Structure 1
C-alpha cells in the first residue's frame, strides 16, 4: 500500500477514522499511522481529531489521466503520443526528455503531483507543493534544429496567457523571456530544454509550472513575489480541466511552430509585455544596462532603448527587472 492510496481516500476533505482507513486499505491501525506520517512528509497537512479520525482540510483536487484526456479537444488528443500522470518524481522535464525520442512525431506529456528536483530558468529550484499547482512537460521533435526554435518560449507564454485570460485572469502579463505575471507577481514559468542536433533533427521539452492553489502553503523558500490562480479568482479551480485547456493550446502550437515561427505570436506577446515602454534594467553578469523596454525583435530578442541607442539582448544568463519594482 502506498501513501497515495491514503491521500486518494482523504482527498474528499471528510473525516475518516483510523479503523475505517485500515479496513479500506487492508492494513492495521498502526500501519495506517505510519502511512499518515508519510503523507505529512510530503507536505500535506492533515487534521486529527480524537473520536473522528483524520481529515485533509478542504480536500485535494488530484490529477487524473482519464479526467484530463476526456476534457481535451479531439484535435489536441490527435497530437498526443502518451500522457503520464505521476505522483512524486524528481522532474517532469527529466522524465519527458527520457521519452522525447519515442513519440514518433507526436508529443509526450508528463505531469506530476509533486517534483522533488524541479528547476526553473538558470537552474533555480521550483517550489512544488503536493497537488496544489500544475507541473507538466511536453515534448516535440523538430527537424530544423535550434534555428527553428527561436522565440518558442515566448510563443508558449502567449498561448498559456490566452488560456488564463479565458479563465478570467484579465491582468495576466508576460515577462521576457519565460515568466507569466499577474498583479506584477509570478504566476507561472516556462523552461525549454533541447537534445539532439543543434543544426538538424532535435527533441525539445517544454516545461511549465503554474501556481494554482498554494496560498495556504508555507512558501517561505520562494525568493520573489508570487500569486496563484485561485487567489486571484477567489474560487476553486479544477486542475484537470485547466491542464486539459493548456494542452489544447500548447500541443497545436508545437505541431505548427516550424511553419509559423514567432512571427505568428510576436504582436500578441508585445500586447501582453509586462514592461513594454517602462524603465527597466538588464543584468548580464556584472554588466547592468538601464533603459526603456522596447519589446522584442523578430527572433525573440529583448530590445532596450538606452541613452546611447537601442540594445539587443538574447537569452542565456540575462536578467530583466523593472526599475521601480527593484528600487533602482
Structure 2
C-alpha cells in the first residue's frame, strides 16, 4: 500500500479526536505498531498535530471533518452535479495535479476540479507560498478551456474573486471585500486567494487552471503568515461544514466561469463596486520602480484597475502591479 494511502486511512481513524492505540491502528491498516509510529512522525513533520500518550495511543489535537466526495456531491446544486471532482489527501499542489490530469486526459471536461486536505507546495500569485495546513481550509483547482485563446481569459481572475465574495456574503458573512484583482477579505483581513494559470496561444486554443484557497478554520496565531488574515469560521455563527462549503465554492467557480465565457465582466461591474476594497480610497500603485498615486475608481470592462489621478483616469492591469493604501 502506498504511503499516502496509509496516511489517508490513518487520518480517517484519528479524525474523531479520540485516542486510538498503535495496535488498533496497525490492525486497521494492516501494518505494524512501529510502522504506525513512523507514519505519525511523518504526518507531524507536515504540520499535523498528533499527540502520543503512553498507554493510550494517538489522537489529534482536535477533531476534524475530512473531505468526502459523496458528501460534497450531495450538496452540489443540480447544474453542477455533472462536474468531475477528485479529492486527494496530501499533495504538492492541486494546480500541478490538475495540469498533469489535463495532459493525461484529452477528454477532460470543463469544470473538472481537484481538492486536497493539504498542499505541501501550495502557491499564490507571483509564486508566493500559500500556507495549506491539513484538514482545516479549502484548497481546490478547476480546469476551464479557453476556446478563444488566452485573450479570452481577460478579467477572469476578477470575475472569480467577485464570485467568492458574493458567495461569502450570501452565506451571511459581513464586511466582505475584494482587493483587486482577486484577494478576498473579511473585516479587512485576507480570507481567500485565487491563482489563475494559463497555457496555450493568444488567439488559438488554451486553458486555465484556477487555484482557490479559502481559510475556513485557520488557527489565528500562525507566525509563518506575514500579513493579517482571518477565517470564515470566525465570522460565522454555525460550525463550518467543509463538504458543504466545498460544494458551494466548486459550484460558484464553475458558474462564474460560465458567466465569464458568455458575458465577460459586463454584467458584474456594478456589483464589483459594492465589494471593492479600494473604491474612493487613496491608493498607490507600484509598477516596477515607479509609484503612481490617486483615488481608487473601480474596474473597467477588461478588469483593469482604475485610478483617478490629477491628469485623468488611468488603467492598470495585473502582472507586477501592487496596489496598497498609502498607510500600508
Structure 2 residue 138 is the aligned partner of structure 1 residue 127: no
2:162 maps to 1:158: yes
Which structure 2 residues correspond to residues 255-266 of structure 1 after superposition, within 5 A?
255-266=258-269
Question: Residue deviations 1:305-326, cap 9 Å, x none?
Answer: 12332221011100011123x1
2:112 is paired with a residue whose SS is: strand
Of 254-263 and 203-212, more deviation after overlay is shown by 254-263
TM-score (norm 2): 0.93
Partner of 2:42 in structure 1?
A: 38
Q: Is 1:206 matched with 2:232?
A: no
Q: How many equivalent residue pairs?
A: 322
Q: TM-score, normalised by structure 1?
A: 0.93
Alignment map for 1:235-274 (pairs within 5 Å)? 235-274=238-277
Equivalent-residue separation in structure 1 for 2:111 and 2:9 (angstroms): 29
Q: How does 1:219-230 map to 2 (within 5 A)?
A: 219-230=222-233
Shift of 1:143: 1.5
Q: Which residue of 2 aligns with 1:231?
A: 234
Q: 2:296 aligns with which of 286, 293, 296?
A: 293
Tell me whether 1:113 sits opposite 2:109 in the alignment: no
User: Residue 234 of structure 1: CA displacement?
Assistant: 5.5
Per-residue CA deviation, residues 34-80 of structure 1 (Å, 9 max, x unaligned), is: 222122122111123333222112211111111112211121123x2
- Equivalent residue runs for 1:48-59 within 5 Å: 48-59=52-63
Q: CA deviation at 1:103?
A: 4.4
Could you say what secondary structure the match of 1:19 adopts?
helix
Q: Please name the residue that 1:173 is paired with.
A: 177
| SS of residue paired to 1:212 | coil
CA shift for structure 1 position 235:
4.7
User: Tell me, which stretches of 5 or more residues in structure 1 are unaligned?
Assistant: none
For residues 78-93 of structure 1, the aligned pairs below 5 Å read: 78=82, 80=83, 82-93=84-95
Deviations 1:257-314 (A, max 9, x none): 2221111222111110011001111101111111110001111100111233222101
Q: Distance in 2 between matches of 1:196 and 1:136?
A: 22
C-alpha distance after superposition, 1:83-126 (max 9, x if no partner): 11111222111222233363455221111111122211111111
Moved over 4 A (4+): none
Give the Cα separation in 2 of the matches to 1:47 and 1:117: 25
Change (3 A) 1:232 1:93: same
Deviation at 1:9, TM superposition (A): 0.3
Alignment deviations for residues 199-251 of structure 1 (CA, whole Å, 9 cap, x no partner) = 122111111111111216x6212111111111222653111110101112111
Distance in 2, matches of 1:260 and 1:134, equals 28
Match of 1:4 in 2: 8
Determine which of 279, 293, 300 is the counterpart of 1:276. 279
Matched-pair contact (CA < 8 Å) for 2:162–2:182 = no
Q: For 1:292, what is the secondary structure of its paired residue?
A: strand
Query: Partners in 1 of 2:321 and 2:279 — Cα distance?
Result: 17
